[in-house]
Amino acid sequence: GGRHITPVLATLLAETVDQHHESDPAATLSVRERQVLELLAAGQTATEIGQTLGISVKTVSTYRARLLTKL
């Protein structure tokens, strides 16, 4: 459950999503993917994100992998 994306990188990714919502592939993010991205940007670990969202660490890791693929 360690960090694999630095908070700075996650913040930049989140800002990119906001700035390019219509023309960016990030516009395809699901609500849950956005939630995970926001919590990563806030510096939370996978374990903390799982606890916050009520999902397993493995599920958080899956969302994180999807984010890396989409962004």
Give the global pTM: 0.66
Could you report the per-residue pLDDT of 2-24, keeping only the tens digit for each? 667 777 887 887 777 666 555 66
Averaged pLDDT of the chain? 85
In a domain, 29, yes or no: yes
The CATH number given to whatever domain includes residue 40 is 1.10.10.10
User: Distance (Å, rounded) from C-alpha 69 to C-alpha 52?
Assistant: 23
- Segments forming the whole domain that contains residue 52: 7-70
Is 1 a member of any domain?
no
Residue 37 pLDDT > 90: yes
Is residue 2 situated within a structural domain? no
Let me know if residue 65 belongs to a domain: yes
Structural domains in the chain (count): 1
Q: Tell me, yes or no, whether 36 lies in a domain.
A: yes
